[in-house]
Amino acid sequence: MYRELAIFSGNAHRALAEAVCKHLEMPLGQCEVLEFSNEEVFVRFLDNIRERDVFLIQPVVSPVNTRLMELFVMIDAAKRASAGRITAVIPYYAYGRSDKKDQPRVPITARLVANFIETAGADRVLTLDLHAGQIQGFFNIPVDELTALPLIADYFRTAAYTSPVVVAPDVGDAKRARNIAQRLGAGLAIIDKRRSGNDERAQAMALIGDVRGRECLIVDDEILTGGTMMSAVRLLNEQGATSVAVACVHPLMAARAFEVMDSPEISELVFTDTVPLVHGEFRRVPTTVLSVAPLIGDAIQRIHTGGSVGGLFR
Ligand code: R5P
């Protein structure tokens, strides 16, 4: 076994790391993570971590490549400081959409990032709602993937929805939507979404299922530009939905998402705090942020003590 638990944060989302430590009733470890004027990243642990069970919390959010580099350098510094075991806690795994070669001459960057994390010296990865579960297999070290879907389902269960239909904004999201629909005893509908080229424009083409007179709950893993969601919201409103609520695990929210989604076409927005909302705020649409800190904290505790992480979801 390793010596005691030690948790540190990079610069991506310190508030989440602090909330995890608060849940575990322990202090956040002290660590300098800074960038020199030539943009080189520097890390120094201020606590002794020799032989300790070290967890480094860093969702890979904007500026994505800097946050990734911070994570790699933190892992390297922990390794060289003789940490007993290093777990990269990545609440949001960027580059997840680049998970296959679906056009000629393109990379599989999700795999490349996995290679970098391993090469830096991580022993394990703890993450949440990967864009595609198969990304776990890009690693040769253990990966625990948590899910915030039960949290979102619990929220909708306690909200006053009488005849909800859970909607997948894309065929690839159908499994996720079905999971929530089953938890709620709700109906399921699926949108056929198309993207043209690589310019981030999404178009909801058709709806499989009936939403007339029903409350729609669209659930996605992430929102970036808001294009996928707004296209889905408009289609559902056209098809006679009485209201359309929007939920996602990772609200990446580029600045234009705040412009297009702060719209009366959406009845409410539900997110988690795997990533910080940095580019704006929603003023018109009621917004709820559910914290994943207790979930991450409990998973860390179980990994540290050799308990079952799967047991968290039974
Ligand atoms: C795509 O497959 C994902 O599940 C999301 O639908 C997508 O990343 C959302 O991106 P945007 O908000 O830019 O349409």
Determine if ligand 1 sits within 6 Å of the CB of residue 96.
no
Average of per-residue pLDDT values in the chain? 95
Ligand 1 atom closest to Cα of 252? 12
Determine if ligand 1 sits within 6 Å of the CB of residue 226.
yes
CB of 110 closer than 8 Å to CB of 93: yes
Active site residues: 193
pLDDT at 40 over 90: yes
Mean pLDDT, range 17-38, rounded to an integer: 98
Mean pLDDT, range 262-285, rounded to an integer: 95
* Residue 250 shares a structural domain with residue 137: no
Q: Picking from 45-54, 112-121, 197-206, 257-266, which range would have the lowest pLDDT averaged per residue?
A: 197-206
Mean pLDDT, range 67-95, rounded to an integer: 98
Question: What spacing in Å lies between the alpha carbon of 228 and ligand 1's midpoint?
Answer: 6
Determine if ligand 1 sits within 6 Å of the CB of residue 129.
no
Question: What spacing in Å lies between the alpha carbon of 195 and ligand 1's midpoint?
Answer: 10
* Residue 307 shares a structural domain with residue 187: no
Total domains in the chain come to 2
Exposed e or buried b per residue across 205-217, where buried means at least 16 C-beta atoms within 10 angstroms of its C-beta: eebebebeebbbb
Mean pLDDT, range 184-196, rounded to an integer: 90
* Residue 160 shares a structural domain with residue 60: no
CA 120 to chain centre: 22
Mean pLDDT, range 269-290, rounded to an integer: 95
* Residue 248 shares a structural domain with residue 235: yes
Mean pLDDT, range 280-306, rounded to an integer: 97
Helix (H), strand (E) at residue 301 = helix 293-305
Determine if ligand 1 sits within 6 Å of the CB of residue 225.
yes
* Residue 165 shares a structural domain with residue 102: no
pLDDT at 189 over 70: yes
**Most ligand 1 atoms within 8 A of CB, residue of 64, 191, 220, 266 to mutate:** 220
* Residue 136 shares a structural domain with residue 156: no
**Most ligand 1 atoms within 8 A of CB, residue of 173, 223, 249, 252 to mutate:** 223
* Residue 160 shares a structural domain with residue 232: yes
Q: What is the CATH number of the domain that holds 236?
A: 3.40.50.2020
* Residue 34 shares a structural domain with residue 113: yes
Query: Could you identify the residue written with the tokens 């709950």?
Result: 217
Pair type for strands 202-208 and 215-223:
unpaired
pLDDT at 196 over 90: no
pLDDT at 198 over 90: no
Instruction: Output phi, psi for 204, to 5 deg.
Output: -75, 115
Question: What spacing in Å lies between the alpha carbon of 86 and ligand 1's midpoint?
Answer: 31
pLDDT at 31 over 90: yes
pLDDT at 199 over 70: no
CB of 91 closer than 8 Å to CB of 292: yes
Q: What pLDDT score does 49 carry?
A: 98
Mean pLDDT, range 124-136, rounded to an integer: 97
Q: What pLDDT score does 1 carry?
A: 64
Q: What pLDDT score does 202 carry?
A: 76
* Residue 138 shares a structural domain with residue 167: no
pLDDT at 197 over 90: no
Helix (H), strand (E) at residue 69 = helix 64-80
Determine if ligand 1 sits within 6 Å of the CB of residue 5.
no
Pair type for strands 52-57 and 85-90:
parallel
Structure tokens, 28: 């956040």
Q: What pLDDT score does 160 carry?
A: 81
Q: How far is Cα 81 from Cα 74, in angstroms, rounded to an integer? A: 10
pLDDT at 39 over 80: yes
Helix (H), strand (E) at residue 31 = strand 31-35
CB of 191 closer than 8 Å to CB of 221: no
pLDDT at 98 over 90: yes
pLDDT band at 245 (very low <50, low <70, confident <90, very high): very high
Determine if ligand 1 sits within 6 Å of the CB of residue 233.
no
pLDDT at 23 over 70: yes
CB of 41 closer than 8 Å to CB of 86: no
Determine if ligand 1 sits within 6 Å of the CB of residue 200.
yes
Q: How many CA atoms lie within 13 A of 108 on its CB side?
A: 12
Q: How far is Cα 146 from Cα 90, in angstroms, rounded to an integer? A: 11
Mean pLDDT, range 24-30, rounded to an integer: 98
Which residues constitute the domain of residue 194?
149-290
Exposed e or buried b per residue across 110-148, where buried means at least 16 C-beta atoms within 10 angstroms of its C-beta: bbebbeebbebbbbbbbbbbbbeeebeebbeeebbebbb
pLDDT at 166 over 80: yes
Residue nearest to atom 5 of ligand 1 (CA): 222
Q: What pLDDT score does 298 carry?
A: 98
Determine if ligand 1 sits within 6 Å of the CB of residue 228.
yes
Q: How far is Cα 29 from Cα 27, in angstroms, rounded to an integer? A: 6
CB of 17 closer than 8 Å to CB of 26: no
Question: What spacing in Å lies between the alpha carbon of 245 and ligand 1's midpoint?
Answer: 16
* Residue 232 shares a structural domain with residue 125: no
Structure tokens, 218: 């669209």
* Residue 197 shares a structural domain with residue 282: yes
Instruction: Output phi, psi for 118, to 5 deg.
Output: -70, -45
* Residue 7 shares a structural domain with residue 80: yes
Q: How far is Cα 43 from Cα 78, in angstroms, rounded to an integer? A: 9
pLDDT band at 14 (very low <50, low <70, confident <90, very high): very high
Residues 6+ apart with CB under 8 A from 175: none
